[in-house]
Amino acid sequence: MSMRHTMKIRRALTAVAITTGLALTVAGCGGGEGESDKPSAGSSSSPTGNGEGGGNPKSEEPQAPPEETVLAEVTGGGDNAKLVINSATRDEGGFLTVTGKVKNGKGKFWNPAYWKGDEKELSGNSASLAGAYLVDKTGKKKYLVLRDTDGRCLCTKFTGGFKSDEEKTWYAQFPAPPADTTKVDFQIADMPPVAVEISDGE
């Protein structure tokens, strides 16, 4: 083999060795920046999946909904109904809106048809809060549920009555008592009267 041919082979081998070394050096440097920040498979910072240490966060306990304000509650009357008042709010328009719930305690189907009151004008308001009224003992006045020009009350009508133990929400609007009146008695049909605190709307 000639000297010239031997030198060519050595140069080729040297070039291959240098190229391989550079490739390994670049690979080593590339892994030092991005991959070194990642925890290794055996690292203690890896999530365990069982909720301990740095594992997955525990799911929060479901929060119970806030309880409704109960201003007054009364049970009685011939049908043993339960009436709850949740709010009595005076607004700027001169109205007092009372809201609450009624529950059938009769033990069977109940239709409060007589709650409409005795006025002939309210005859078309069967099974509603039309017969409810407020009494301002201080001012010695009685406030009836408001109604439109056709005699329909501004109140809830319990269409379809109540199934056994069924509960329904209701509202009724009255003329607002004077601003210095902060408490009134609410009454409907043969239910006992119940005192209600008035609040001012926003």
Query: Please, which residues have CB within 8 angstroms of residue 159's CB and are 6 or more apart in sequence?
Result: 127
The pLDDT value recorded for residue 120 is 84
Q: What is the pTM of this model?
A: 0.66
* pLDDT digit string, tens, across residues 6-49: 444 445 444 444 444 434 444 444 444 444 454 444 444 444 44
> Which has more pLDDT, 178 or 42?
178
What is d(CA 183, CA 180) in angstroms, rounded to the nearest whole number? 9
Residue whose token pair is 């069977």 = 108
> Which has more pLDDT, 31 or 81?
81
pLDDT at 161 over 80: yes
What is d(CA 73, CA 196) in angstroms, rounded to the nearest whole number? 10
Render 42-77 in DSSP notation, one character per residue.
T-TTS--SSSSTTSPPPPPPPPPPPPPP-SEEEEET
Taking the C-alpha atoms of 166, 66, 182 and 192 in order, what is their torsion angle to the nearest 10 degrees?
A: 20
Query: Cβ(153)–Cβ(146) under 8 Å?
Result: yes
The pLDDT value recorded for residue 160 is 92
Q: SS3 letters for 154-167? A: CECECCCCECCCCE
pLDDT at 60 over 90: no
Residue 117, exposed/middle/buried by CB under 10 A (0-12, 13-18, 19+)?
A: buried
* pLDDT digit string, tens, across residues 118-140: 888 888 899 999 999 999 999 99
Written as six digits, the tokens of 192 are: 């006992």
- Please give the share of the chain, as a percent, with pLDDT higher than 90: 55
- Banded pLDDT at 5 (limits 50, 70, 90): very low
Pairing, β 81-90 against β 194-197? unpaired
Residue 134, exposed/middle/buried by CB under 10 A (0-12, 13-18, 19+)?
A: buried
The pLDDT value recorded for residue 77 is 86
